[in-house]
Amino acid sequence: DIQMTQSPSTLSASVGDRVTITCRASQSVTSWLAWYQQKPGKAPKLLIYKASRLERGVPSRFSGSGSGTDFTLTISGLQPDDFATYYCQQYKSYLYSFGQGTKLEFK
């Protein structure tokens, strides 16, 4: 099974900051990688798919990059609504796997 490792586990930032979250796969997933945002008590929301494609309706301050085993999610100009937990997920294998999550909190 493919293992997904995210870093950092927690990230402290302020409104307006630019932040980057990384995700590493234990083997190549080419570009079959998605990023989700989750707020407490809510289902995850799809932000990015195919490593870098923005889901409809997601603000352009979110961007994704990478291929193979190394990926990043960048949020440029943090807004108050962005403080949440973020997960990466590979879907190259039918045996889906998620990263352990990155909690983005107020500094």
Residues at the interface with other proteins (CB under 8 A): 1, 32, 34, 36, 43-46, 49-50, 87, 89, 91-92, 94-101
Looking at beta carbons only, is 81 or 94 nearer to other proteins? 94
Looking at beta carbons only, is 76 or 84 nearer to other proteins? 84
Looking at beta carbons only, is 19 or 34 nearer to other proteins? 34
Compute the distance between CA of residue 24 and CA of residue 107 in angstroms, rounded to an integer.
Answer: 25
